[in-house]
Amino acid sequence: MAWSPDGRRIASASHDNTIRIWDATEPTKLLPHTKDATCVSYAPDGTGFISGSDDDTLRVWDPHSHTQRAITTSHQAKPRAITHSPSGEHVASATSDCRVRIWDANTLEHVRTLAGHTRDATCVAYSPDGKLLASGSADRTSRLWNPATGEHLATAKHEDWVNCVAFSPDGTKLASGSSFFDIQIWSIPTLAKLLEINAHSNYVNGIAWYPSGDRFVSSSWDCKLRVWNANDGGRIHELVGHTAPVRGLAFAPDGTRFASVSDDKTLRIWDAQTYEQLEQFRSETPLRRVAWSPDSAQVIAGSTAGVQVWRLEPCLAILQTHGEIGLAQTPSGQFCLQPESAEAYLEVPRPDRAAVFYLPLAGIRDHQSREAVARSLAGQPTRSLAQSLGWAPLPWDGEIRSISVDRPPPSPLTIVSTQFGDIITNPFSPDTALRNVDTLPGRRVEIDEVVQVLRRRGVAWLRGPRRAGKTSFLNYLVHHSPGCQVFSRSLQAGPAQTPDDIASLLAPKLGDAPNSAAAFVELLHEHKAPVIILDEIAVLAEAQAGTLRWLRALGNEDSAITLIYSGSHYDWVQVRERMREVPGSSFGNDVTFVDFGPIPEPDALEFLTATAPAQAPISATLASWVVQECGTWPYYLQVLGYALVQEQTVHQRTPATMSRGDFQDFYRRVLLRAKATYFELRWQEFTPRAREVLRAGLAAAREHRRLSNPTDLTDAEKRVMRDQGALADGSWVIDKPFLNWMHDNIETLGEPQS
CATH code, domain carrying 276 = 2.130.10.10
HSE-up of residue 374 (Cα within 13 Å, Cβ side): 6
Residue at a domain's end among 674, 705, 729: 674
pLDDT digits (tens, 9 = 90+) for 118-158: 988 999 999 999 999 999 998 999 999 999 999 999 999 99
Q: Is residue 448 part of a domain?
A: yes
In whole angstroms, give the CA distance from residue 63 to residue 90.
18
Which residues does residue 563 pair with via DSSP β-bridges, in sequence order? 459, 532
pLDDT beyond 70 at 430: no
Number of folded domains that form the chain: 5
Same domain, 502 and 464: yes
Dump the DSSP string for 310-378.
EE-S--PPP----S----EE-TTS-EE---SS-EEEESSS-TTS-EEEEEETTT--HHHHHHHHHHHHT
What integer pLDDT is reported at residue 2 of this predicted model? 36
Please tell me whether residues 70 and 213 are part of one structural domain: yes
Comparing 180-194, 242-256, 386-400, 434-448, which segment has the lowest mean pLDDT? 386-400
Confidence of residue 603 (pLDDT cuts 50, 70, 90): very high
- Please report the pLDDT score of residue 357 as a whole number: 40
Query: pLDDT digit string (tens) for 53-111?
Result: 877 888 888 776 667 888 886 667 888 889 999 999 999 999 988 999 999 998 999 99
Q: What is the pLDDT of residue 32?
A: 52
Tally the residues of the chain: 754
211 forms bridges with which residues in the sheet?
none
User: Binning pLDDT at 50, 70 and 90, where does residue 588 land?
Assistant: low
pLDDT of residue 22 exceeding 70, the answer is no
Query: Last residue of some domain: 248, 278, 311?
Result: 311
Give the mean model confidence (pLDDT) for residues 228-240: 93
Per-residue pLDDT averaged across 503-523, rounded? 84
Does a cis peptide bond (omega within 30 degrees of 0) precede residue 495? Answer: no
pLDDT at 216: 97
Q: For residue 13, is it within any domain?
A: no
Q: Please check whether residues 146 and 126 belong to one and the same domain.
A: yes
Res. 585 pLDDT band, cuts 50 70 90? confident
pLDDT of residue 731: 82
pLDDT at 559: 67
Q: How confident is the model at residue 352 (pLDDT cuts 50, 70, 90)?
A: very low
Q: What value does the mean pLDDT take over residues 303-317?
A: 58
b/e map of 736-747 (b: 16 or more CB within 10 Å)?
A: ebbbbbbbbebe
Within-domain flag for 265? yes
Q: What is the CATH number of the domain that holds 509?
A: 3.40.50.300
Q: Specify whether 385 is located in the same domain as 305.
A: no
Average pLDDT score over the chain: 76
The residue type of 538 is A
Structural domain that includes position 621: 601-674
For residue 49, pLDDT over 50 is answered with yes
Do 59 and 70 have their domain in common? yes
Distance CA 707, CA 711 (A): 11
428 located within any domain: no
Residue 68 and residue 179 in one domain: yes
More confident position, 556 or 638 = 638
Sheet bearing 298-303, strands edge to edge? 28-31, 306-311, 298-303, 287-292
Q: Angle, to 10 degrees, between the axis of helix 569-581 and the axis of helix 545-554?
A: 110
The rounded distance, in Å, linking the Cα atoms of 275 and 258 is 9
CA distance linking residue 262 with residue 277, whole number of Å = 14
What is the spatial distance between Cα 557 and Cα 559, in angstroms, rounded to a whole number? Answer: 6
Which residue among 253, 288, 311 closes a domain? 311
Helix (H, G, I), strand (E, B) or coil at 1: coil
Q: What are phi and psi of 242, to 5 degrees?
A: -65, 145
Better pLDDT: 124 or 365: 124
| Model confidence band, residue 312 (pLDDT cutoffs 50, 70, 90) | low
Q: Are residues 583 and 621 in the same domain?
A: no
The amino acid sitting at 484 is C
Residue 370: predicted pLDDT: 44
pLDDT band of residue 213 (cuts 50, 70, 90) is very high
Q: How far is the CA of 513 from the CAs of 502, 507, 591, in angstroms?
A: 13, 11, 31
Classify residue 442 as left (phi > 0), alpha (psi -120 to 50) or beta.
left
Q: Does residue 381 register a pLDDT over 90?
A: no
**The CA-based dihedral angle spanning residues 262, 266, 267, 268, taken in that order and rounded to the nearest 10 degrees:** -100
Q: Is residue 61 part of a domain?
A: yes
- Residue 280 and residue 259 in contact, taking contact as beta carbons nearer than 8 Å: no
Please report the pLDDT score of residue 438 as a whole number.
57
Please provide the DSSP assignment of 93-123 as one string: EEETTSEEEEEETTT--EEEEEE--SS-EEE
pLDDT score of 36: 67
- Please give the Cα distance from 83 to 52 (Å, whole number): 10
Give the pLDDT score at 130. Answer: 94
In this structure, the strands spanning 99-104 and 90-95 are antiparallel
Q: What is the mean pLDDT of residues 415-436?
A: 50
Instruction: Please state the rounded mean pLDDT for residues 325-331.
Output: 32
Torsion of CA 638, 643, 648, 653, to 10 degrees: -150
Residue 437 in domain:
no
Give the pLDDT score at 15: 33
Q: What Å distances lie between residue 247 and 205, 262, 288, 323, 593, CA to CA? A: 7, 5, 5, 36, 32
Same domain for 658 and 683, yes or no, is: no
The pLDDT of residue 584: 80
> Are residue 614 and residue 554 in the same domain, yes or no?
no
- 123 and 270 housed in the same domain: yes
304 or 165: which leads in pLDDT: 165
> For residue 278, what pLDDT band results from cuts at 50, 70 and 90?
confident
pTM score, two decimals? 0.47
Residue 434 lies in a domain: no
**What pLDDT is stored for residue 677 in this prediction?**
77
pLDDT, position 316: 25
- Residue 353 pLDDT: 34
pLDDT of residue 356: 39
517, 496 contact by CB (below 8 A): no
Q: Counting beta carbons within 10 angstroms of the beta carbon of residue 407, is it exposed (0 to 12), middle (13 to 18) or buried (19 or more)?
A: exposed
Q: How confident is the model at residue 34 (pLDDT cuts 50, 70, 90)?
A: low
Q: Are residues 330 and 260 in the same domain?
A: no
Which residues does residue 329 pair with via DSSP β-bridges, in sequence order? 335
Same domain, 73 and 222: yes
Q: Let me know if residue 18 belongs to a domain.
A: no
